[in-house]
Amino acid sequence: MPSVSMTVNGKAVSGNVEERTLLVQFLREHLRLTGTHVGCDTSQCGACVVHVDGKSVKSCTLLALALEGANVLTIEGLAEPNGPLHPMQEAFRQNHGLQCGYCTPGMIMSAIDIVRRKGHELDERTIREELDGNICRCTGYHNIVKSIAAGAKAMAQGGAPRQAAE
C-alpha cells in the first residue's frame, strides 16, 4: 500500500493506505481522530468538515493520498490540550448550539471558515446562507446561528483561531 505523510493538528503523521482511502477514513481509522464524523457519503451534510491548508473542506470528498504534505486541522486540534477552548467552541456551548453533538465538529469547523471569509460581524442571513453545506437535525439551526454570530465576535476580541500552519 502506498504511504502518505501530512501534518495533522500540528503533528507530522504518515501511514500506508489503500488508494481509495478518504481523508475522513485516514483521520478516523488510521489516526483514531474520531471527532470528524461521517453523516451522508454524498458531501451534503458537512459532519466531516476539516480545514486543509487553512480552508474548510469536506473530508469525505478527498483522497488521503492527494494530501501529501498538507496541513490538516480537525476539531481535536482547535484548542491546545488543557488550554482554553477556541472561542467558536465556547460560543456553541454558551448558546446551546448543539444537542446530539454529531454534526457539531463540522459545524464549528465550517463556522470558523465563515469567519475567515466573511469577517467578524455576521448577520443572520449571511450565516444561514453560508451554512448551506452543513445539516443539523436537532437544533433547527436557531442556536447554531446565534453561536456563530457570538463566536465570530469573540474571535475578533483576541481569540484568534488556531489555524493549521501555512
Partner 1 sequence: MSATGIGAPVRRKEDLRFITGKGQYTDDVVRPGETRAVFVRSPHARARIKSIDVSAAMSMPGVIAVLTGAELANDKIGNLICGWMIHSKDGSPMKMAPHPALATGTVNHVGDAVAVVVAETKGQARDAADQVKVDYEPLPAVADPAKAQEHGAQQIHEVAPNNTIYQWHLGDAKATDAAFASAKHVTRLDIVNNRLVPNAIEPRAALAEYDAGADHLTLWNTSQNPHVARLVIAAFVGMAPEHKLRVIAPDVGGGFGSKIFIYPEEVICLWAARKVGRPVKWTAERSESFLTDAHGRDHVTHAELALDGEGKILALRVKTIANLGAYMSTFSSSIPTYLYGTLLSGQYNIPQIYCEVDAVYTNTVPVDAYRGAGRPEATFVVERLVEVAAREMGIDPPELRKRNFIKSFPHQTPVIMNYDAGDYQASLRKAMELADVKGFGRRKREAARHGKLRGIGYSTYIEACGIAPSQAVGSLGAGVGLWESAEVRVNPTGTVEVLTGSHAHGQGHETTFAQLVSERLGIPFENVSIVHGDTDKVQFGMGTYGSRSGAVGMSAIVKALDKIEAKAKKVAAHMMEAAENDIEFKDGKFTVAGTDKSAAWGDVALNAYIAHKFSGQELEPGLKETSFYDPTNFTFPAGCHICEVEVDADTGNTEIVNWTAVDDFGTVINPMIVEGQVHGGIAQGVGQALLEGAVYDKDGQLVSGSFMDYSMPRAHNLPSFTIGLTETKSPSNPLGIKGCGEAGAIAAPAAVINAITDAIGSEQVLMPATASTVWAALERANVARQAAE
Binding site for partner 1 (CB under 8 A): 18, 20, 28, 32-42, 44-45, 47, 74-76, 78-79, 85, 89, 92-94, 96, 98-105, 108, 124-125, 127-129, 131-132, 134-145
The residue (of 121 and 124) whose beta carbon lies closer to partner 1 is 124
Least distance in Å: CB of 36 to partner 1?
Answer: 7
The residue (of 6 and 46) whose beta carbon lies closer to partner 1 is 46
Q: Nine-digit cell at 71? A: 496541513
Give, as one character, the DSSP assignment of residue 159: -
The residue (of 41 and 121) whose beta carbon lies closer to partner 1 is 41
* Phi and psi torsions of 36, nearest 5°: -85, 125
Least distance in Å: CB of 111 to partner 1?
Answer: 11
* Phi and psi torsions of 74, nearest 5°: -115, 175
Three-state secondary-structure class, residue 157: coil
Least distance in Å: CB of 99 to partner 1?
Answer: 4
Least distance in Å: CB of 73 to partner 1?
Answer: 11
Element (H, E) at 158: none
28 strand-pairing partners = none
The residue (of 69 and 81) whose beta carbon lies closer to partner 1 is 81
Task: Judge contact between 151 and 143, C-beta under 8 A.
Answer: no
Element (H, E) at 122: none
